[in-house]
Amino acid sequence: MADDVTITVHVTDRDGAVHALEAPEGWRVMEVIRDYGLPIKAECGGACACATCHVYVDQDWFDRLIPPSDEEIDMLDETFAVEDNSRLSCQILTSEALDGLTVTLAPEAQ
């Protein structure tokens, strides 16, 4: 893993605006979204314990991700507006293979 590798993640916010966010390889997608100031709660800080970093992964990218753990599946079962392409962004690590990843912020629970 090279220190100078920059990964771009494309994030659509809840208003429909698309943001191209750059991050070092190995960061959690949740951290990238949060650090750029987009509205993501990420209450548990990446411990896979809250589902407040719920995103929809673009279908072109979904099968490229490491499959979700049992813990992630359990958290998604308890959250709002889950779709077939739902993932917790704290469980997705940036990598060269995911350069260009496209996600959409899921709606927040009301």
On whether residue 94 sits in a domain, the answer given is yes
What is the percent of the chain with per-residue pLDDT over 90, rounded to a whole number?
90
Give me the long-range contacts of 69-76 (CB less than 8 A, separation at least 24): 72/48, 75/48, 75/49, 75/50, 75/51, 76/51
pTM of model > 0.95: no
- Answer whether residue 110 is part of any domain: no
CA angle 11, 41, 74 (to 5 degrees): 90
Domain enclosing residue 76, as ranges: 6-105
Q: Please report, for the domain that includes residue 18, its CATH number.
A: 3.10.20.30
Total domains in the chain come to 1
Is residue 24 in some structural domain? yes
| Domain-embedded: residue 10 | yes
Strands 86-88 and 54-57: antiparallel
105 with 14: CB under 8 angstroms? yes
CA–CA dist 77, 45 (Å, integer): 19
For residue 1, tell me if it sits in a domain. Answer: no
pLDDT tens-digit map of 6-37: 999 999 999 999 999 999 999 999 999 999 99
